[in-house]
Amino acid sequence: MARVLMTGFAPFGGERVNPSWQAVSLVSARRDDVTAVELPCEFETSLPALRRAIEEHRPDLVVCTGQAGGRAEVTPERVAINLVDARIPDNAGAQPVDIPVVPDGPAAYFTTLPVKACVAAIRAAGVPAAVSHTAGTYVCNQVFYGLMHLLATEFPGVRGGFVHVPFSPEQVAASGKTAPSLGVDRIADALEAVADTALRVAEDVKVSGGAEH
């Protein structure tokens, strides 16, 4: 049986929960082939925690996830950039600006997940989804870039990528936000579709997933 590692983040930015961690925990509870690990929302400690998780669990597939408040869809990310530019401090109070994730690393890494096939599978499960071409410049992008660098340099043969998820209804209700949300159970359904598709599909489908801006 192929082994899948899924990660989500601890709550940040004053939130009490993070739907990425809630959802991957639910997937892990549903499936014997999935291990869920919570990453700290901290620039200094997130990548060491990710490395330890990969070393410990030796997965065949890694799907990291994070919260993208304001998005209405589950969005598999296509590209990670070698840049940290934090709009707000992380949970340790750090706010790095204009520094690389990996000094002297490539400018960017593309995911090795079949993102368009994953989007089609998520939609087939009845969950809204779209390809995203930006993971931002906060801890999510750092983990995405760091993951792809680790897989390229230290863990050959392991595939991986990053998926952003919307706010949960719990977050929206607690804060009074006017923002899109998606139930954690539906996010978990989407992440299961991502894992199943990535384990089955080696070459992505040739359909449009581009953006105009």
Q: What is the pTM of this model?
A: 0.96
d(CA 198, CA 192): 10
Active-site residue identified among 15, 64, 118, 164: 164
Residue 213 falls inside a structural domain: no
Task: Single out the residue of 30, 47, 17, 16 nearest to residue 7, CA to CA.
Answer: 47
d(CA 177, CA 159): 36
Catalytic, 55? Answer no
- Which residue range forms the structural domain that includes residue 122? 4-200
Catalytic, 77? Answer yes
Q: Which amino acid is at 147?
A: L
Maximum C-alpha span of the chain: 45
Each residue's pLDDT tens digit, 40-89 = 999 999 999 999 999 999 999 999 999 998 999 999 999 999 999 999 99
What is the CATH classification number for the domain harbouring 138?
A: 3.40.630.20
Residue 207 falls inside a structural domain: no
Nearest 10 degrees: Cα torsion 24, 28, 30, 33: 130
Residue 106 falls inside a structural domain: yes
Residue 208 falls inside a structural domain: no
In tens digits, the chain (213 residues) has pLDDT values of 789 999 999 999 989 999 999 999 999 999 999 999 999 999 999 999 999 999 999 999 999 999 998 999 999 999 999 999 999 999 999 999 999 999 999 999 999 999 999 999 999 999 999 999 999 999 999 999 999 999 999 999 999 999 999 999 999 998 877 889 999 999 999 999 999 999 999 888 888 777 655
d(CA 158, CA 69): 29
Active-site residue identified among 41, 64, 118, 140: 140
Residue 208 burial by Cβ neighbours in a 10 Å radius (0-12, 13-18, 19+): exposed
Residue 12 falls inside a structural domain: yes
Distances in whole angstroms, Cα of residue 41 to Cα of each of 79, 82, 92, 112: 20, 18, 8, 23
Residue 141 falls inside a structural domain: yes
Catalytic, 212? Answer no
Residue 210 falls inside a structural domain: no
Written as six digits, the tokens of 51 are 């490395």
Residue 60 falls inside a structural domain: yes
Domain count, the chain: 1
Nearest 10 degrees: Cα torsion 158, 161, 166, 170: 30
SS (H, E, C) the chain: CCCEEEEEECCCCCCCCCHHHHHHHHHHHHCCCEEEEEECCCHHHHHHHHHHHHHHHCCCEEEEEEECCCCCCEEEECEEECCECCCCCCCCCCCCCCECCCCCCCCEEECCCCHHHHHHHHHHCCCCECCECCCCCCHHHHHHHHHHHHHHHCCCCCEEEEEEECECHHHHHHHCCCCCECCHHHHHHHHHHHHHHHHHCCCCCCCCCCCCC
Active-site residue identified among 15, 42, 73, 77: 77
